[in-house]
Structure 1
């Protein structure tokens, strides 16, 4: 019932792209060329942002860096109500309320926090099933290290997942409010890299700092960049590659 089925395969930019389904969960797995059981590699799970999908350019770009620089496997699944998954009436109501608040110049945070918390409840077991299925692949296996990389909604969904999933050994988070998430962050002790925008028009810097402070990790690094919410520098993706190379193992080529 929860087995993984590949539905399409292609190659580009030095990596193999395989679409898959696990029950009703659609996903994509990016891998190095000619990967197999004899050359197992670490796995990085990535969560996409709100309103986006598993193959959003940001996801493909980060995956290409991790595959090319480290030889890792990278997997993304569509969050509930996103990408190839249908929206529910609840999704439509929350999205309409978000657009209404945005048009009226009202704070978006309370709506985003509430909606993302709902999505996280649905997505957490889906990520656990996905990780189970991916680890059954001979090129990944059950004994290799696993990381998680997700910003914005990817943090809202990924942080609760990492808080209860002992197989995750390093994670990159950022750009979210501490409401709901701070208590769960206190349960996380693995190495963390955290990004925030100092001039974020939606998430006050005090809120971002509070979430970073909540992690119980002995090794945690804060990356604070000047700029608004959508102005996170591209070089933060390269920093994440180096972070995962340190903690999951693997080379970093000159492109990083």
Structure 2
């Protein structure tokens, strides 16, 4: 894949925001505005139908930068943000809207479509990580985390399973159907979010995905509420989770 190019830069409230491209991939990197010391990197996956600068992404990134001192990178998934949709994307999105309008379950369509998106997105994330680690403020030996819910989990599970540089992950809010077998290969620390009253994902399905991870250190965060009602304080918990695992890697003796 091509070289990473920064295309825009802004700084506000101690956070440096840099848009970038890597071939056809569009992304954004948030960093502490002050200082050039190396810091851990958190890769963050956005949800379905959103994009790299969706308000939830910006809010989580700012928490991770302000409270954890991390770099945070998000790329647009295929067919999302400014990236063009393929005929297959259009077909699956139309099927999803039809099921929603008819009051039919969305899960089978979302699972199928997200699995196909993951096949396209994981190689892009691997190339993006390679390019980001060439930056002096990140470095090739720095610790890396992954944070992704909903579609971010559909892409994140195969990414984490394939990438040994990722040392900790926050995941959740997805069905196990296409992910459970892959989750069995994941042994890093995992924090998993689940909504007890999720109208799309039965709680048994969410629990099955959590159970599938082979990690000896994993925690289940269950909150009352529907699919889109995940409490904002879970973002604060994610910052503490990454601080425990990624900062520990930074300060550990050689």
The TM-score normalised by the length of structure 2 is 0.96
Per-residue displacement from partner, 1:216-251 (whole Å, max 9, x unpaired)?
00000000100000110000000000000000017x
1:74 aligns with 2:72: yes
SS of the aligned residue for 2:192 comes to strand
Q: Does structure 2 conserve the Cα–Cα contact (< 8 Å) formed by 1:109 and 1:202?
A: yes
Matched, 1:245 2:243: yes
Match of 1:182 among 165, 173, 180: 180
Match of 2:252 in 1: none
Match of 2:54 in 1: 56
For residue 193 of structure 1, give the secondary structure of its aligned residue in structure 2: strand
**Where do 1:93-172 residues align within 5 Å?**
93-172=91-170
Contact 1:2 1:133 (C-alpha < 8 Å) held by counterparts: no
Equivalent residues of 1:46, 1:148 under 8 A apart: yes
Runs (5+) with no aligned partner, structure 2 = 249-254
* Residue 43 (structure 2) aligned to one of 30, 42, 45: 45
Structure 1 residue 169: deviation in Å? 0.0
> For 1:99, what is the secondary structure of its paired residue?
helix
TM-score (norm 1): 0.96
Once residues 35 and 24 of structure 1 are traced to their aligned partners in structure 2, the CA distance between those partners, rounded to angstroms, is: 30
Structure 1: 4+ residue segments shifted above 3 A = none
Matches within 5 A, 1:13-52: 13-36=13-36, 39-52=37-50
- Aligned-residue Cα RMSD (Å) equals 0.8
Give the superposition deviation at 1:34.
3.2
1:215 and 2:213 correspond: yes
What CA distance in whole angstroms lies between the structure 1 residues aligned with 2:31 and 2:71?
Answer: 5
Give the CA deviation at 1:35: 4.0
Q: Hey, what's the Cα distance between the residues in 2 that align with 1:212 and 1:188?
A: 11
What are the Cα deviations for residues 15-63 of structure 1, in whole angstroms up to 9, with x where unaligned? 0000000111000000001342xx1000000000000000001001000
Residues 42 and 144 in structure 1, CA contact (< 8 A), matched pair in contact too: yes
SS in 1 for 2:59: helix
Is 1:145–1:169's contact at 8 Å kept on the other side of the alignment? yes
What is the deviation of 1:2?
2.4
